[in-house]
């Protein structure tokens, strides 16, 4: 794992086991505490993993699915001869004490959206970060680039989203260095889902939409349509080779996944997340289709974010847009939504004037 490679965790683990439990002759048993020898068994451990207790989870204002209680020592199976009742401590070493709950519920709001079309993936989001009734930051970055062909739209707690974006970017970079190719968008979504699932029921609040393009580094399959036609006419390839090539071609193209902090992972053509998403869907459902041009896609994305910010108090200020293609992502200049408001006002005024003339 990357954590072991970076922090040398595995070697420390093996050194401590070798030091505390020397080799004994075969067939001779010794009485020892197998749990106390782990690196996280005392206050001098390398890593401290925080797992809230059930009482604190019940007081959380943010709940994702069913809340599971912390397992005690009685839940450990008695079939394991090494983990007996005499060798286990009174409670698990990683069960934490009760923390102080939040003084008031933290209300969050945002508007993020992404959809696929023939030109790639279009992603857009507003820039307002809110905390209850306060506009904490009017110019936050909610679309976070992960690598050259993948961006993530984040909604939830800003600190959680930024942290898990960095963790995912690190893991994807290590994968690329080890295997010489990028991990697919589907694999990145599955990896993030597995990493977030252990925190289900806690106050972790992350809802990410991964927008990517797979197969950009394969130069032989840039034009998949022409390649399929030439493949059908060429008799030099066997049937199994043709199936393998077609499978690689199908892996190339735009991809869109939604991942939530409870482990949910969904694949789709269109997603909108946040408190302003119902208003954004009203524009996206009637305007998005596969045959859109790039300019039409940008116009629909900007219009959807504008409508959401017009009705939703927790969304507003500016709009950011990213376009992901086979060549990577490109960012459009940030646009203040008040300009769109004034344009809409002038348009309505002009339409009213024209109707009075008629």
Torsion, Cα 320 323 324 330, to 10 degrees, reads: -80
Burial class (CB in 10 A: 0-12, 13-18, 19+), 18: exposed
Cβ(263)–Cβ(201) below 8 Å: no
Q: Which of 297, 300, 258 is nearest to 282 (CA)?
A: 300
Q: Please say if 110 is a catalytic residue.
A: yes
Number of C-beta neighbours around residue 259 at 10 A: 26
184's CB contacts (< 8 A; 6+ apart) are 212, 214, 251, 255
CA distances to 183, 272, 288, 293, 349 from 298, in Å: 28, 15, 11, 9, 24
For residue 78, what are its two tokens?
Answer: 């008695």
Number of C-beta neighbours around residue 57 at 10 A: 17
- H/E element holding 98? none
Q: Which of 112, 158, 162 is nearest to 131 (CA)?
A: 158
Spot the catalytic one: 18, 110, 209, 309: 110
Residues designated catalytic? 110
């Amino acid at each position: 794992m990357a954590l072991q490679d970076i922090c040398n965790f595995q070697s420390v683990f093996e050194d401590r086991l070798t030091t505390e439990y020397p080799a004994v002759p075969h067939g001779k048993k010794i009485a020892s505490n197998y749990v106390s020898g782990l690196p996280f068994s005392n206050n001098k451990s390398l890593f401290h993993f925080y797992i809230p207790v059930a009482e604190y989870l019940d007081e959380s204002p943010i709940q994702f699915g069913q809340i599971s209680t912390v397992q005690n020592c009685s839940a450990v199976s008695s079939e394991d001869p090494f983990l007996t009742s005499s060798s286990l401590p009174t409670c698990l070493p990683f069960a934490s004490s009760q923390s102080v709950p939040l003084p008031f519920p933290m209300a969050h709001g945002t508007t993020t959206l992404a959809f696929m079309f023939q030109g790639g993936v279009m992603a857009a989001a507003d820039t307002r970060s809110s905390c209850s009734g306060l506009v904490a930051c009017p110019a936050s970055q909610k679309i976070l680039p992960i690598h050259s062909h993948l961006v993530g739209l984040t909604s939830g707690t800003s600190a959680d989203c930024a942290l898990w974006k960095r963790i995912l970017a690190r893991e994807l970079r290590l994968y690329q260095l080890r295997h010489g190719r990028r991990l697919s968008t589907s694999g990145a979504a599955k990896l993030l889902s597995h990493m977030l699932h252990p925190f289900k029921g806690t106050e972790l609040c992350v809802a990410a939409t991964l927008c990517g393009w797979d197969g950009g580094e394969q130069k032989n399959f840039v034009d998949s349509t022409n390649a399929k036609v030439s493949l059908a006419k060429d008799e030099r390839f066997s049937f199994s080779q043709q199936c393998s090539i077609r499978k690689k071609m199908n892996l190339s193209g735009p991809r869109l996944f939604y991942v939530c902090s409870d482990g949910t992972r969904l694949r789709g053509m269109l997603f909108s997340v946040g408190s302003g998403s119902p208003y954004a869907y009203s524009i996206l459902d009637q305007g998005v289709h596969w045959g859109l041009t790039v300019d039409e896609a940008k116009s629909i994305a900007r219009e959807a974010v504008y409508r959401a910010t017009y009705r939703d108090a927790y969304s507003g200020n500016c709009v950011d847009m990213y376009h992901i293609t086979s060549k990577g992502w490109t960012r459009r200049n940030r646009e203040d939504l008040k300009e769109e408001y004034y344009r809409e006002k002038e348009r309505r005024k002009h339409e009213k004037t024209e109707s009075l003339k008629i």
